[in-house]
Structure 1
C-alpha cells in the first residue's frame, strides 16, 4: 500500500510544473514519508478501532435523540408521539442549517459529511435534552413522565460520552504505538510544513489538470470546492501534527499560528479564482501555489503572506452553546418549575416567575444591552404583580 501511494505521488510530482528541478529532489523523501504515514495509519489496529468508534458515535447521534424525544412517552398520551417527533425533526433541521451557515456550506442536509464531524453528535445529543424538556410541556405531563424523560436523556448522554472516551483512548493508543515509533525512524514522520506542501501539491495536480477548461464555470467551481476541502484538511493536520508528536507547548502554538496564516493565504487564492476567470489570473494562482510548495518543502514560511491572520474559530458546539445554552437553561427552568416537589403547581406567583424566565430566555438570544434588558424584565415583573 505504501509503495502504491508513493508511486501515485511521484506521478503527481512529475505532472506539476516546478520552475526549479531541484525541488523535486526535496519533495521525494517528503512524499515517501507521507505515503508511509498513510499506509501505517490504515493498517494500524488502534486507528481502525478509532474509525469504528467514530461510526458508532455517528449512529448514536441519530438514534439517541429519537429515543429521547419519542420512545419514553406513554402511548396513551394523545398526540404526544407526533408532537415529540415533530420537535425532533425541527431540531435536526435547525442544527443542519446552522452548521451549514457556520461552515459556509449549502443548507441542504449533507448527512455523510455531517456524521464525520465530531461536533455534530455532541450538538444533536445536547439538543435532545431540550427536545425532551419541550416534549414534556406539549402533553399532560406528570412528575413521573418528566423524570423518565430526563433519565433517558442522561442515559443517552452517558453512553455517548463513553464512546467519546473510548475514541480518545484509541487515538492515544495510535499515537503511542504507531505515530511516535514511526517518527523516530530514519524516514521520519511529516512535519507541519511538509504536510502543507503535500496537500498543496495535490491541489496543484487538480489545477493543472483543468487548466485548459478553467473558463468553464463547472470546472472552476469544482477546483474551488476541492480547494475548500484542502484548506479545512490542511488546517486540521497542521494544528494536530505537533500535539500528536508531543513537540511541546511553544511548538504547538507556533504551528497553530502558521496554520492560521496559511489558511488565510489559501483563501485569498480561492477568492482570486472566483472573481477572475481569465487564464493569466489562473496561471498566477497556480504560480503562487507552486511557490508555496517550494518554500514549505524547505521549511520556509516566508512565502505565506497575508494581510491578517485567519483566526481559528472555536468548534461549532462551543459557539452554539454560548448562544443557546443560557436560553435553554432558562426555558427548561420555566417548564420544569411546576414539577419540582414542594412547588405549587398553580398560582399567580408561579405564573409570574415562569413569564419572567421565558422573557429572560428570549432576551438572552437578542443582542440587547444589560441595562435595557433589566428595564424590560422589571417592567414585566411590575405588570404581572399588578395583574395577578
Structure 2
C-alpha cells in the first residue's frame, strides 16, 4: 500500500441529489466510500472529510455575481428568469435543489485542501471532484462550480510550478480549458467522445501550445484509449515534466454508461492511471462523469485500489457485494436486474475493439504537434 495515499470524501454526496429525473440522481461517491470500507481500504486514518469552500474563495475563478446568485438560489430554492438566462441556474441540466451550493462548494473545498496536502508530494483521491464544465459566470453541464480549476490553482499556490491536467471523461473539459488554455505552465490533455456535448475540444485547439485534445469516435473501446495513452497522453505529460498531475477519471466512457456511446472497460481507465503515476511527485485523482451507479462506483473504487497500491480481488467479498446489491437506479428501465458481474467484481473483462482510422489520423496529427512542441 502507498503510505502517502489519502482519500477526501463527504457525506453530503449521500444525502443530496439533483432530483429524481436527473442523470445525477444516482449514488456515486457514497458507493465508493462504502465499498472502500467494506474492503478494508478506507481506514479512518487515511479518510479526510472535505471542507466546504467559502464564497470569497470561489472568486478566484467564478464571478462574485455568479457566486451570489448560486447562494441565493440555494437559500430561496428558486431563480427568476433573468438569473436563469444569465447564469443557467434552474435549467434542466442545472436544476434548483436543496444543496446546490453546498454540494459543489464541498468539491471545491476538497480540491483546495488537496493542493495544500500535496505540498510535499503524495497521492490523493477526490471522487467528489471532477466537475469540469463549470464556467466563470454560469453553471454548465451539471457543474455549478469548477473544482478542477481550483485544484490546479491550489497546487500552484502550494509549490507546484507546472501542473498537467489529464481528462479521460466522455465529455470535453470545456471549463478547465477556458481557465488554462493560455497558461504555459498548465498542460491540458483531454480524450472525449466525438460530437458529444459540449462539442468543444477540437484536435486543432492549441491555446498557448499546451492543449492536446483527442476526440474519440463513438463505439471505440479499450484499444482506442491505449493508443491515446501511449502516443498522446503519456508522451505529452512526460515531455512537460510536471510537478503535479490531476487526472479527471470520468466513468462515462464505460460501455454501460447511458450518457455516452463509447464502449470501454475499466481496464482502459486504470491503465492510464498506472501510466501517469510515476510521472510527478504530486498526484490528484478526481471523479467526473458517470451515470450508471454500478459502473461508476466500481471504477472509482478500483482506481482507489491502484492509487493506494492495493490488490483488486477477482471476486468481491460478501460485505462489498452487499453494497452493490443495495444500489437502486430509479427511473432506469433498461436495467431491471443488474448483471451478476456488476455485483461481484470491480472490473469487467477487457473490451479490445477496433481502432477507427479517423482516430489514428488525429493521433498522428497530435504526435506531429508534440514533436514540434518539445
TM-score bracket, normalised by the shorter chain, equals under 0.3
Q: TM-score, length-normalised on structure 1?
A: 0.25
State the structure with more CA Rg. 1
Q: TM-score, length-normalised on structure 2?
A: 0.26
Say which structure is richer in strand. 2
Say which structure is richer in helix. 1
